[in-house]
Amino acid sequence: MIAGSLLHSLIQRCDMGQQGWTHWSCDINIVPDILDGVMNRAQKSGLAGIALVLAIGVSACHSGERAVAGVAATAVKAEQKAQARATERDSQRAQLAAIPLPTKSLYVDVHEPSAWTNPFISVGADMMSMRILMADANTSDIGQGTMLRPTSARRQEVQMRTSELASAVIAIPPSAWPYGRVIAVVEAQSDPKDRPKVRRNLEAAIQQLNDLGIVVQEWPSR
């Protein structure tokens, strides 16, 4: 009986004496078979049994301490990662601040992808493609768009994953943003069964672009 009383007292102290530690393993229901046997032996063997019961109770409390410490360490790491991501995003936004806000009148009447001169992203199930039209170094209108100065010669295609989008956008030169800070996005043609995945990727891309302070012009899939 003495061992049982001491064990119950210890359990109550573990549950009530520490802040936020009521979820520890100090509940007798967690190890019912073991504790029943220990308590029976403790009642028969006197002080030796009492010492064993106390040792088990203290061990359970220490396990709870380690569990709480582990949860706290995980939370600290998660917060540090979130702060690092926020710092990186702020740095990326600062780099894009050199690109002026979009002028909608410059692209409101553009309805064909081939006529869109700002960055254009096509999102697929596994990869996305970004088309960039570099500025013409020749400012003269003579021969522009002809075989002597084809527009295709200034067009670049970049294949990437969603995780690489921010870095790719940061690398676009300011001269490739004639409309201002706006990007067109469209779902790539794909197998109908891949449509949910494509849509998720497109929404993730839009979220990333918005986080960077970029206006997104979503085009209907063709």
Cβ neighbours for 167, distance < 8 A, ≥ 6 positions apart? none
Task: Please provide the average confidence, as pLDDT, over all residues in the chain.
Answer: 76
Q: Are residues 141 and 192 in the same domain?
A: yes
- Domain boundaries, position 4: 1-66
Question: What's the pTM?
Answer: 0.59
- Can you give the pLDDT at residue 23? 42
CA distance 40 to 57: 15
Choice among 65-69, 102-106, 169-173 with the minimum mean pLDDT: 65-69
Provide the pLDDT confidence category of residue 25 given band limits of 50, 70 and 90.
very low
* pLDDT mean over 40-66: 60
Which residues sit opposite 144 in a β-bridge? 149
Q: Is residue 158 part of a domain?
A: yes
Which of 66, 91, 120 delimits the end of a domain? 66
Q: Are residues 58 and 120 in the same domain?
A: no
- Can you give the pLDDT at residue 82? 75
- What tens digit of pLDDT does each residue of 103-132 get? 999 999 998 988 999 999 999 999 999 999
